[in-house]
Amino acid sequence: MKTIDEIRSEIESFQVENAENLEQFRLQFLSKKSEIQSLFGQLKNMAQEDRKEFGQLVNDLRDLAQNHYNGFKSVIEAAADKKTTLIPDITRPATQQSVGSMHPISIMMNEVRRIFEDIGFSAVEGPDIEDDWHVFTALNFAEEHPARDMQDTFFIELHPDVLLRTHTSSLQVRTMEKQQPPIRVICPGRVFRNEAITSRAHCIFHQVEGLYVAENVSFADMKQTLLYFAQRMFGDEVRIRLRPSYFPFTEPSAEMDVSCNICGGAGCNLCKHTGWVEILGCGMVDPNVLENCGIDSTKYSGFAFGLGIERMTMLKYRTNDIRLYFENDLRFLQQFKAATR
Ligand code: DAH
């Protein structure tokens, strides 16, 4: 039988390095079948006068073993913790983080904004739900003017004066009502028209309106500004052409086409087989419009333009169906990750 001293030195020299060693330690010194327990068993065979002293020694021995055990246990547990939280398995494949992308219409809106902001325009926004004054009357659409029919309007049924804006030109009015020239703004926004949905047209789409009003603004200023824009957007090799047109709020008025970069001019359904795609309407702000908004038309002149974002996005990203921009099919949208900024 081992002596108390022998057991004590065994406890003190016992090396615990892992969970298995720890369990061996427990079995050897702390379990019911341990040597320390059998020492307790000897107590009953002892003379009364020896019992107290021997009992105290064995108690101390058991406390020593228990203390060692507790110490070892906390070291082993801390090491196990560290293994899982601080030192992960660096060879494990990383969990996939899915990265979102911006909608192509937003990408295009931001790009248009950036180009015009670089030449001194600042962006303003306004309400989608408008009144007749800001969408038509202030913009020189006469009450019975057939031009009102050019834009198939969604009216809010309960109130004939309340409608969804058919163009962002309403922002021209709102801006000029608030501010005297010089004015240099662009107005990005969503517009609505009661139109049949096809690959080329939709009842909801986006425009960016531009307005420059100051002293001595000329048609040549407008043409140069729009050429600069087209070249930054589509590259230096793009060609533009201005065709005479009609808008109630500009005089003279024009529509601007850019060379079709989908078919390279050979003809496709986006350019209606002409090699050119219309991207905006423009013109010199009609003096009546300036006056309607409280601006002196004898002192100031200006140009304005309204460009269609979907059409430009289709050109830039070479897609030939406008409906793709509204269906939100992830297989389509995820292709714009690289262009998201
Ligand atoms: N508002 C016109 C449309 O929606 C586009 C437009 C044409 C805007 C000429 C203008 C402009 O500012 O001067 O078709």
C-beta contacts of 32-38 below 8 A and 24+ residues apart: 35/2, 35/7, 36/7, 36/61, 36/62, 36/65
pLDDT of residue 23: 93
Could you identify the atom of ligand 1 that is nearest to the CA of residue 211?
12
Give yes or no for residue 247 CB within 6 A of ligand 1: yes
Determine whether the shortest distance from the Cβ of 308 to ligand 1 is under 6 A: no
Computed over every residue of the chain, the mean pLDDT equals: 89
Q: How far is the CA of 24 from the centre of ligand 1 (A)?
A: 87
Q: Is the CB of 305 under 6 A from ligand 1?
A: yes
Instruction: Give tens-digit pLDDT for 284-300.
Output: 999 999 999 999 999 99
226-248: per-residue pLDDT in tens? 999 999 998 998 899 999 999 99
Which portions of the chain are predicted below pLDDT 50? none
Q: pTM (2 decimals)?
A: 0.71
Is the Cβ atom of 281 under 6 angstroms away from ligand 1?
yes
Copy the structure tokens of residue 23: 């369990």
Instruction: Please report the pLDDT score of residue 213 as a whole number.
Output: 98
CB distance 250 to ligand 1 below 6 Å:
yes
What's the rounded Cα separation, in Å, for the pair 67 and 72?
9
* Cis peptide bond upstream of 182, omega within 30: yes
Q: What are the C-alpha distances in Å from 60 to residues 36, 64, 196?
A: 10, 6, 94
Ligand 1 center to 183 CA (angstroms): 17
Ligand 1 contact via 167 beta carbon (within 6 Å): yes
Q: CA dist 63 to 8, 68, 133, Å?
A: 11, 9, 93
pLDDT at position 88, please? 63
HSE-CB for 84 with a 13 A CA cutoff: 5
- Nearest residue to 171 via CA among 191, 144, 150, 197: 191
Which residues neighbour 168 within 8 Å (Cβ) at sequence distance 6 or greater? 126, 187, 188, 189, 191, 207, 208, 209, 306
DSSP per-residue codes, 173-209: HHHHHH-PSSEEEEEEEEEE------SS--SEEEEEE
Of 249, 288, 289, 301, the residue with max ligand 1 atoms within 8 A of its CB, to mutate for a pocket test, comes to 249
Q: How far apart are CA 111 and CA 186, in angstroms?
A: 12
**Which residues lie closer than 8 Å to 83 by C-beta, 6 or more apart?**
none
Q: 282 CA distance to ligand 1 centroid (A)?
A: 6
The rounded distance, in Å, linking the Cα atoms of 75 and 321 is 66
Q: Is 209 in the pocket of ligand 1 (CB under 6 A)?
A: yes
* Rounded CA separation 213/297 (Å): 10
Residue 136 Cβ contacting ligand 1 at under 6 Å: no
Question: What was the pLDDT predicted at 127?
Answer: 96
Atom of ligand 1 nearest to the CA of 169: 1
